Structure 1
């Protein structure tokens, strides 16, 4: 493990606790990742025999974040480290938190954790691994296994079923038979977990290195129908083979996810996952299979899904805009200069181009429109694509026009002329407005 600044600070905390007579180790995910060959860490948790009051006595800057569960934050400069007391848990009546905790030993502490690969400890002072639950063996076999009885572990916190999927997809590991069987049996219980926590796990999956594998596992294990029923509905929805030789809408969506860059943003990942969610309800069979208006329907559905999962307003707005616009890419090479400039000035355009490329690669394979848009971007500078408007509302008022709903259309028309380079100065824009009759103003906006 490379000793970066965070590692050094965490090691000092362990050394301080050990010098005071307590057992202290690095714990959990950082140990797993170290054994997998990861060299640097941004999140190191510490487990210790010191109780919360003893941790508070040892360190000057301590914040209790879960003192009843034995969890404290030790502050080192601007960095904080979670320091948790070894414990064993009683039953979990609420399906998330233990009813009672009992401070105990490293061995018992390991047995309460979720998966074997997450249940190991590392002593940075002696460079020793402490593995009481077979985590190293499962790492070698590249296998996700619960610690102890799988049904009991999941009943303690049903979110662990999604975590099993995330780790399996992230590391390209298998899920052992007992763990798979328990998830399949208990899948419906995922609905007992809060929407916020489900969203966080799904978001990590979709932003991970293999979101397509995560989606396939969610479906195989029976979880998808409960967390994203609208996505599960894509299965079996046929598409015209001449445009989609890859198969149905669900197969296409998995392919799109596979063509995303590694670790995409949340907005790009969710837009890719949901871009065709409107196809099942819009499918028609006329001269061929069609999905008329599926982008608009899908945008509305995506908004409902993300609101239900408590996604942020920003994420919701960006994903909805991207899905609603994704079919317009087929027309970009026929757009007038002003319209293509406005198209490329969209706040999410960079991610939309990436999404369109993945969409094409997952179907017909033709990425000409992406290359065309990139060539236009190279042709125009940023200020050419997004110039400051020559006129604003106050300029129209100064001309003696009364504020009305037509203001927006008029300003939009002037801006379109500006993008087309038909008017280049404020004076030319004002002159154009002056010669527009009230009757013609009604039709303004049809150019776009």
Structure 2
């Protein structure tokens, strides 16, 4: 049973019990736009107690706000009573709710495209807020007074950018002005909620435009002000004819694939984040330099992502990719062993894509990219880092005491093995005796 079939069955049971039941919000919007919704929400005239009477095993975690979650045929469906919200003192959720009508319920929602209902049986769309016209015109518009909507729940400021980015919609001028005027309200929102909305924006295929809107609205200043320093940070035109660091970064964001993972999107966004603080002018050479921007960039990336409460594994992978993005220029001078170690990093496939768009968005050089792709094909027949031919036990057998020297010898043995000079264990043991 699909999510839609499951939700339709629940709506049928509500109707048979004498209640009004509609599909509501995002699932109606997505169907109209030709997208298959991941889940279906139901809005109903039934009160939470009446919903629980019909579905006694339901989860009433949101009953105070009129929301019950029902599990049916392996799917979770949110069933919410039509309501009017009270005052929002914390900029996140209403102090209280009053159960009401479909017309009043639609008015409390954020944007017109999310304020639609649909009859589950006939497919008829019920529109009390002008959402159909905005969907057809590709416009994102706040319901009612936009300032009031953003004051009620200030995360809606970021949600506006997310919906506009995801669907390629234009933000209605009054709504856009309210976003700019109320951008400071984002300070009331927890880092975790900001992080989740920002992650959705930066992983959208249209993420470059999303970044522009975050910058132009003033929202980025509230949670990632370091990005603003990229604007106007000039680069050497012989290496970066495309323009300043911000232009370079947004072009890269547009070049990575539509399904690029979060870690790659963040690494692309932050790979040059330390160029502004490391920018110097070499008068003798007559060019701009950014010495050490990779190392400092890794530190700054970690600080930024930790501030937004990203998981440790995301922080570590992004900081690692930022720290290594300048090493690609040296790969053709690396010994085979070093190239293999470089390529053995779990993040290497993402780093290769970062390097591709880094060059494609600027100087267009592909030599190092082609070199690494050739090496990857050349090394594909066996593990990049094969099992060691000698171990610490072999060193002990030769009379050595465990200590710092162990690491030096074992690493040297691995280098010989990666370079192809040690082929088997017998050869490796002979090498060891010679070394000692």
TM-score normalised by L of structure 2: 0.96
Alpha-carbon shift at residue 430 of structure 1 (Å): 3.0
Are positions 1:75 and 2:64 aligned together? no
Alpha-carbon shift at residue 55 of structure 1 (Å): 1.4
- State the partner residue of 2:278: 282
Residues 6 and 73, structure 2, Cα contact 8 Å, conserved in 1? no
1:138-193 deviations in whole A, cap 9, x for unaligned? 11111111011000000011111111111111111111111111111111121211
- State the partner residue of 1:442: none
Q: Which runs of 4+ in 1 moved over 6 A?
A: none
- State the partner residue of 1:378: 377
- State the partner residue of 1:9: 6
- State the partner residue of 2:253: 257
2:47 & 2:349 partners in 1: Cα distance?
A: 50
User: SS of 1:82's equivalent?
Assistant: strand
2:382 & 2:56 partners in 1: Cα distance?
A: 52
Alpha-carbon shift at residue 124 of structure 1 (Å): 1.8
Alpha-carbon shift at residue 18 of structure 1 (Å): 1.1
1:394 & 1:42 partners in 2: Cα distance?
A: 55
Q: 2:23 aligns with which of 26, 34, 49?
A: 26
- State the partner residue of 1:168: 164
- State the partner residue of 1:410: 409
Q: Which moved more, 1:215-224 or 1:362-371?
A: 362-371
State the superposition RMSD in angstroms.
Answer: 1.4
List aligned pairs for 1:219-298, cutoff 5 A.
219-286=215-282, 287=285, 288-298=287-297
User: SS of 1:99's equivalent?
Assistant: coil
1:48 & 1:395 partners in 2: Cα distance?
A: 73
1:392 & 1:66 partners in 2: Cα distance?
A: 58
1:322-341 deviations in whole A, cap 9, x for unaligned? 00011111112222221111
Alpha-carbon shift at residue 230 of structure 1 (Å): 0.8
List aligned pairs for 1:305-316, cutoff 5 A.
305-316=304-315
Residues 391 and 410, structure 2, Cα contact 8 Å, conserved in 1? yes
- State the partner residue of 2:175: 179
Residues 242 and 361, structure 2, Cα contact 8 Å, conserved in 1? yes
Alpha-carbon shift at residue 382 of structure 1 (Å): 5.9
User: SS of 1:181's equivalent?
Assistant: helix
Residues 4 and 39, structure 2, Cα contact 8 Å, conserved in 1? no
Unpaired segments ≥5 residues, structure 1 = 438-448
User: SS of 1:384's equivalent?
Assistant: coil
When residues 128 and 382 of structure 1 are mapped into structure 2, their CA distance, relative to the original with a 3 A threshold, is farther
When residues 114 and 426 of structure 1 are mapped into structure 2, their CA distance, relative to the original with a 3 A threshold, is same
- State the partner residue of 1:443: none
- State the partner residue of 1:399: 398
User: SS of 1:246's equivalent?
Assistant: coil
When residues 65 and 358 of structure 1 are mapped into structure 2, their CA distance, relative to the original with a 3 A threshold, is farther
1:433 & 1:250 partners in 2: Cα distance?
A: 52
User: SS of 1:322's equivalent?
Assistant: helix
When residues 400 and 26 of structure 1 are mapped into structure 2, their CA distance, relative to the original with a 3 A threshold, is farther
Alpha-carbon shift at residue 372 of structure 1 (Å): 2.1
Count matched residues: 433
- State the partner residue of 2:323: 324
Residues 65 and 97, structure 2, Cα contact 8 Å, conserved in 1? yes
When residues 416 and 65 of structure 1 are mapped into structure 2, their CA distance, relative to the original with a 3 A threshold, is farther
- State the partner residue of 2:98: 102
User: SS of 1:74's equivalent?
Assistant: strand
List aligned pairs for 1:108-187, cutoff 5 A.
108-187=104-183
1:82 & 1:416 partners in 2: Cα distance?
A: 58
Unpaired segments ≥5 residues, structure 2 = none
Q: Which moved more, 1:409-418 or 1:213-222?
A: 409-418
Alpha-carbon shift at residue 218 of structure 1 (Å): 0.7
When residues 279 and 49 of structure 1 are mapped into structure 2, their CA distance, relative to the original with a 3 A threshold, is same
Alpha-carbon shift at residue 226 of structure 1 (Å): 1.6
1:397 & 1:81 partners in 2: Cα distance?
A: 63
1:346-380 deviations in whole A, cap 9, x for unaligned? 10011111111111111112223222222221222
- State the partner residue of 1:389: 388
Alpha-carbon shift at residue 60 of structure 1 (Å): 4.6
2:134 & 2:423 partners in 1: Cα distance?
A: 67
Alpha-carbon shift at residue 397 of structure 1 (Å): 3.1
2:395 & 2:226 partners in 1: Cα distance?
A: 47
